[in-house]
Amino acid sequence: MADYETIPINTLFEIPKLNPGVMKESSPFVAAPAHQEALGFPGELVDNWQEKAIEKLGELLEKSRALRVYMDGCVKCGACTDKCHYFLGTGDPKNMPVARQDLLRKIYRRYFTFSGKYFPKLVGAEDLTKEVLDDWYSYFHQCSQCRRCSVYCPYGIDTAEISMAAREIMDHIGKGQKYCNEILGKVHKIGNNLGLPEKALINTLEDLEEDIEDETGVKVRIPVNEKGADILLVTPSADFFAEPHIDGLIGYAKVFHQAGASWTVSSYASEAANFAMFIGSYEQMKLVAERIRKAAQDLGVKRIIFGECGHAWRVAYSFMNTLAGPFDFLDPAYPVPQHICEYTWDLIQKDKLTLDKSANDHMTLTFHDSCNVARGSRMGDTPGGQFEIPRAIIKAVCNNFVDMAPDTIKEGTFCCGGGGGLLTDDLMEIRTKGASPRMTALQEVVKDSGVTHMAAICAICKTQFAKIMPTYGIGMDRIVSLHQLVSNAIVLDVPPEDEVEAETNEDVATA
Amino acid sequence: MLLSTIFAVLFYLATAFLVVGLAYKIRLYARTPAPLKIPTTPAPVTQTGVVLRMFREVAFFESLFKSNKWTWLFGWVFHFAMLLVVLRHLRYFTEPVWSWVNLIQPFGKYAGFAMLAGLLALWARRFLVERVRYISGPSDHLMLMLLVGIAASGLMMKYVVHTDIVALKAFALGLIYFNWQPLPADPVLILHLSLVLILMFVFPISKLLHAPGVFFSPSRNQVDNPREKRHLAPWAAALDSEPNGGE
Ligand code: SF4
Ligand code: SF4
């Protein structure tokens, strides 16, 4: 790896000096023609790409009020300049949210405004050149669409919307990103980001059931494609096999088990993630969301619950009703969809779970608010439930909990550094640097409050942290799933010996 | 009289341009659909809540306050001093002067200084803070120059070289009632009015659009109720009925 291997921890909120162009070369692999074409995008950069790009921008301006208002509204007040973790981690001025927006805004001004057409120099309007496109490709892939900047902008200008639009334009001229587009292809073909087919999924989950039984002595089921189940669980596919995700899945299964719920996962919609949000494609996002609708209809479930995944929850909570609704075929007694944390918290409040907090006494926890959950969604009935409910669960299952610095949590939370389609090895440098604000805040509570572990409710966060925490001198096993904590604390009723025997024998007989 | 005629015509043109330009932009913002629910959360879950959020944003610059206390202070002082100053100026356009305009007169008189101070502080940031310097373009400096010019020339007339305010008021009322009166040929006044004219022309084609824009910002004006109420833009609804859409 390059020279960013060991990164000193900043003092909190030290704003870097500008270092123009340091991250210019950081750009992800370009999607291969096959990956592009599978999504209906041109295979490679089209000849008249300038013309096409401007045409697409014009189309998006017609379709999105956010884009139109945000292109006009920025007053260059600078309030957002020190809010992006990628700027704080790199010092590259083009990672300041307003400067990132300006990469698109200067083109907007040049081709769509009076002042930019006639006085380009005055208002910073520029022609769309190859250099501009290169900057787009680099810097719009150094934005995790975390919306932190939008919290602090006096007009709520959301750079995520602008990055999404820029990526949508680039896809349409044939310059897509390999990571996102390849993954979307897999979802369309197989049903999940990992390309895990039905058979493999069923086998994996059967193995997992055995593991749980070996460990707890209780047969906790993880049903797949079970028609007529009440609940469809849609969870990120990382939950099916990766650490620490899988411990979260075990947690959901134990919660469902103890609640006596009838539930299932679907192999057709075996993915909560919807990477189409990252590439800003409404059409793609709709196609992926419709898989979940179809699975729910085919299985005849009554409710849909989402597992721990940040952007997936944003798409599910904020967009799914729009994209694939109305969900009037589900039980109207429950919100559609629900978050697993809402479900678990409800059970805890009704005293339906037997919990032994001391099972987590070997840990002191802190909680990482995932950006998409924090600033793009909600849990429960009141604003801010997305902060309170996960914390309430942690406190119900753990004795030791400490929050990180107030400016780095809840609505001000820092992205893990790997969101927005950046969780790929070809972007390791920006991922590592972008994680520094979160790592700094974590280090502080590790030092001052003896925090040993950080819980998260996002597959991307968990993967990213497991990968980069060692760079910051923190062990990769220090990131845990929230439902892993629930899993530890939950006390299952162990059936009497002979019953277990009988069941096991039966299993053998039918195997 | 030539000067008066030029200014009278320019004021009509500027007013028309300002009104038509803003109306065009506002219509465009209002007409452009917002395809998805994107309020920056935590967001209000009711329409009343959204009105309150918007009020806090517009009246107190809530988000800016969260961001940077200095920028907030300078920005807020400038905007509200300007508001007072503008309201105070109503006395030149009304006869008899509305009583509440008289009421704010004592404050409005000094607000000019606060406005100027706020502007200069904001301008200083564009030179002193490296990040803000980087994002400032020529138009950002020119805009501040324009506003500083307006404030400074106004203060000049109020406190240093008084202009014939009675004649000026006659000119202003004449514009409104189409009964043109001569404009005092006073250089500071001419400068002041010229800069105001430029501002009026620039408003609908510049970043000053942030004023109407803020009300249309989906991250601030949307209700957080996507699960309860299906939100659908017309162009998105059309996708629902496409062969591969819906089911
Ligand atoms: S959305 Fe997040 S990553 Fe993108 S510019 Fe804003 S703060 Fe940075
Ligand atoms: S905070 Fe908003 S208005 Fe201010 S510079 Fe950033 S994007 Fe522009």
B214: domain CATH number is 1.20.950.20
Please indicate, yes or no, if residue B31 is contained in any of the structural domains: no
Q: Is A364's pLDDT higher than 80?
A: yes
Q: Is A506's pLDDT higher than 50?
A: no
Q: Which residues of A touch B235 (CB under 8 A)?
A: 63
Q: Is B62's pLDDT higher than 90?
A: yes
Distance between Cα B122 and ligand 1 center (Å): 24
Residue nearest to atom 7 of ligand 2 (CA): A98
Task: Single out the residue of A479, A487, A485, A438 nearest to residue A244, CA to CA.
Answer: A479
Q: Is A83 in the pocket of ligand 2 (CB under 6 A)?
A: no
Per-residue pLDDT, B247: 38
Of A24-28, A254-258, A313-317, A502-506, least confident by mean pLDDT is: A502-506
- Distance separating alpha carbons of residues A6 and A297, to the nearest angstrom: 50
Token reading at B167: 């004649």
Ligand 2: residue of A95, A109, A155, A161 to mutate (most ligand atoms within 8 A of CB) is A155
Residues ≥6 apart with Cβ < 8 Å to B109: B88, B158
User: Among residues of chain A, what percentage have pLDDT more than 70?
Assistant: 95
Average pLDDT in chain A: 93
Please indicate, yes or no, if residue B24 is contained in any of the structural domains: no
Average pLDDT over residues A504-509: 45
Q: Which residues of A touch B65 (CB under 8 A)?
A: none
Hey, are the CB atoms on A161 and B232 less than 8 Å from each other?
Answer: no
Please indicate, yes or no, if residue B67 is contained in any of the structural domains: yes
Please indicate, yes or no, if residue B241 is contained in any of the structural domains: no
Distance of CA A313 to the CA centre of its chain: 8
Name which of A79, A98, A377 is nearest B71 (Cβ-Cβ): A79
Q: Which residue of B has its CA nearest to A324?
A: B246
Residue nearest to atom 6 of ligand 1 (CA): A149
Domain count, chain B: 1
Q: Is A2's pLDDT higher than 80?
A: no
Please indicate, yes or no, if residue B247 is contained in any of the structural domains: no
Average pLDDT over residues A87-96: 96
Per-residue pLDDT, B159: 93
Q: How far, in Å, are A161, A292, A315, A323, B243 from residue B238 at the CA level?
A: 22, 20, 20, 12, 11
Q: Is A421's pLDDT higher than 90?
A: yes
Name which of B37, B135, B232 is nearest A78 (Cβ-Cβ): B135
Interval A205-230: pLDDT, tens: 999 999 999 999 999 999 999 999 99
Per-residue pLDDT, B179: 93
Average pLDDT over residues B22-48: 97
Q: How far, in Å, are A57, A88, A161 from residue A184 at the CA level?
A: 23, 31, 20
Per-residue pLDDT, B242: 58
Per-residue pLDDT, A3: 41
1.10.10, 1.20.120, 3.40.50, 1.10.1060: CATH of A33-176: 1.10.1060
Average pLDDT over residues B112-138: 97
Average pLDDT over residues B130-147: 97
Average pLDDT over residues A301-306: 98
Q: Which residues of A touch B33 (CB under 8 A)?
A: 63-65
Domain that holds residue B150: 41-225
- Under 8 Å between Cβ of A257 and A491: no
Q: Is A157 in the pocket of ligand 2 (CB under 6 A)?
A: yes
Name which of B41, B129, B247 is nearest A78 (Cβ-Cβ): B129
Please indicate, yes or no, if residue B3 is contained in any of the structural domains: no
Distance between Cα B134 and ligand 1 center (Å): 18
Residue nearest to atom 6 of ligand 2 (CA): A80
CA distance A454 to chain B (A): 23
Q: Is A502's pLDDT higher than 90?
A: no
Which residue in this structure is represented by tokens 């620490």?
Answer: A244
Per-residue pLDDT, A1: 38
CA distance A158 to chain B (A): 7
Threshold 0.80, pTM exceeds: yes
Where along chain A do its domains lie? 33-176, 185-402+451-509
